[in-house]
Every structure is written in structure tokens, then in C-alpha cells.
Amino acid sequence: MTATYTISDLAREFAVTTRTIRYYEDRGLLTPARQRLVRVFSSRDRVRLKLALRGKRLGFSLREIKELFQLYDSARDERQQLSAFLAKLEKRKGLLEQQREDIEVMLNEVEFFAAQCRRLLAQDAKREARAA
């Protein structure tokens, strides 16, 4: 007999809300069976949820995650899937590196203007001290 999970089981295990899981289902990432009004998730759904959450942490959109799932479902060998995933990872890495560079530039600008403000405040304090 294969393992099955309720939506509450998965929500608890992965520390997400049941609403998140229903949203992923609406987006086609999960395909639980139905027993009357109850969703019954398979081991496959559990793994997909785990991978989707991991993909989100890496910054992938749900659309990109779904594309990877579809590729996995249709791929005859792992090579095509791994190549596509590697390309997405490299693209994501490039975006993150660009963001890091942009943040460094912004931090340098913030520090420059903060130093200017400190210098102007110090000059103003000296003028006030002389005037007193």
C-alpha cells in the first residue's frame, strides 16, 4: 500500500499553510486524488511539494517550477531534465550576482551620503559652539 497524506499532514511537515498547498494545486503543481471532499496526496505530491518549496527558496517562480515538473514528466532520460535545470540555475545565479553588485553600489552610495550628513552636522555643531 502506498503512503498517502492529508493536506494538514503536508502543511505540518513543511511548515506551510493549507492555503499555500491549495494554491500550488490550483497552479497545477500538485494533483491530489479526491475521496469525497477530502484531498488525498500521494508520495509523488509530497515530493513535488518539497521540490516546489525548495525551488521557491532558490528564487524560481511557480511557472518555472511547473516547467521543470513538466520536463521531468515527459523526459525519457535524466540528461534533458538536468540540462534544463542547470540552465535555470545558472540564469538564477547570474541574476543574484547582479543583485549583489547592485546592492554593493547602493550601500556605497548610502555610506557616502551618510558621511556627508555627518560632516555637515559636525560643521553645524562647531558653528553653534562658536556662536555660544
pTM of the predicted model as reported, rounded to 2 decimal places:
0.73
Mind listing the pLDDT tens digit for each residue in 8-65? 999 999 999 999 999 999 999 999 999 988 999 999 999 999 999 999 999 999 999 9
Cβ neighbours of residue 2 closer than 8 Å, sequence gap 6 or more: 42, 43
Mind listing the pLDDT tens digit for each residue in 50-92? 999 999 999 999 999 998 888 888 867 788 888 888 999 999 9
Region 1-60: CATH code: 1.10.1660.10
Query: Domain ranges in the chain?
Result: 1-60
Cβ burial 55-93 (10 Å sphere, 16+ → b, else e): bbeeebebebbbebbeeeeeeeeeeebeeebeebeeeee
